[in-house]
A and B are shown apart, each in its own frame.
Chain A
Amino acid sequence: MTEASLALDELERDALAELVNIGVSRAATGLRAMVGEPVILSVPSVEVVSRKAAATLIQERESDQLIAVRQDFNGVFSGRALLIFPQANSMALVRAVAGDALPTEELEALEEEALAETGNVVLNSCLATMANMLQQPLDVSLPHVIRGDGPIFFELNERVSENGVVLFLYINFAISGRNIRGYIAMLMDLPSLEALKTLIREFINRVMGSDDLGQFT
């Protein structure tokens, strides 16, 4: 696979960002319903970077320990979706989802489960929206809660060196009423990127009609 075939062109990158944007907007609507507070999203970033750089991108901004809900997806393209936030925000999120009325001990007992369920709602609605728009089914694994720092979240496959490139998508979110912030991130490795590129091309042709493509080439 050559570098040239790997790179997404301007319109493909634009289309991918828009797909992610629509997916994450729906996910935010779901999260809003769960926490009862408005959820603010940033504009998505789409980058082809080394695995190490992906971890660094998050780590650079976060000096504290992080917590993430991880779900792997498999289909024509495969990868990992993550809902990441500082560990210090974890109980605030659990409180927002489970309700303020519960005593702290009960909330602590619920933490793992509440985080997994929140991640499940957010990540699934994002992935399902993208899969539907690309007209390809995706199998999504059960959510796992992991704690640590950047590299732990981004190890997709032990056989791949950390210098191998990945497609890295991320969006910042904030629930300002609860002082919670974090990221929704997606990571795909090289063979998936190639498959995704084809699907994005098909998606573009479908929504635009292939006869209009001339002006972008």
Chain B
Amino acid sequence: MTNTVLIVDDSKLARIVAAKAITATQPAWKKFEAGNADEALTLLSQEKIDLAVIDFNMPGRNGLELAEEIRKIHASMPIALATANFQDEIIAQAHTIDVSFVAKPITSEGLSGFLAGAALKLRGV
């Protein structure tokens, strides 16, 4: 099944790395990229997007704030927060809105668990 993933990161390099990591395990999946929360929400309103990988530390709204916004519209979309910032409060907040963690720097191994889970979940929908 082909899914569409939204990659949100203010770093262009980080978006490329994430896209590569996704392609390594899910070569057929379609990818969209956004550089900040506003761009991400615009894309979400225009395109059919199945899952999202979101950077935490971004100018404007951070990744968790964006994830909260997305949750209001897409209650069950698989979302991963990509960060090296593993503070307890960030983990707790992510859990309350059912957002997974992916360690930065993103690797295909690090992302594969989230992608496999998302693929299963999306197949079930």
| A residues whose Cβ falls under 8 Å from a Cβ of B | 10-11, 14-15, 17-18, 21-23, 25-26, 28-29, 32, 38-39, 41, 43, 129, 133, 204, 207-209, 212
Contacts and interface: CB of A to CB of B under 8 A. Distances in A.
Contact of B17 (A21, A25, A208): A208
B57 A41 contact: yes
B10 A26 contact: no
The 10 closest A-B pairs by CB, nearest first: A25-B85, A25-B84, A18-B11, A32-B87, A38-B89, A22-B84, A29-B86, A15-B13, A26-B84, A43-B59
A18 B13 contact: yes
Nearest to A38: B89
A25 B105 contact: no
Contacts of B11: 14-15, 17-18, 21
**How many B residues touch the partner, as a band?**
20 to 34
5 contacts: A21-B57, A23-B84, A29-B84, A38-B89, A212-B16
A25 B89 contact: no
Contacts, number: 63
Given A25-B57, A43-B58, A129 B84 contact: yes
B84 A38 contact: no
A22 B12 contact: no
Given A21-B57, A25-B104, A11 B85 contact: no
Contacts of A32: 87-89
Nearest to A207: B17
Contact of A39 (B56, B59, B87): B87
B31 interface: no
A32 B83 CA distance: 15
Contacts of A15: 11, 13
Nearest to A31: B87
Contacts of A11: 12-13
Interface in B91-122: 104-105
Contact of A43 (B57, B85, B105): B57
Nearest to B106: A207
Given A28-B87, A32-B88, A22 B13 contact: no
Contacts of A208: 13, 16-17, 20
B14 interface: yes
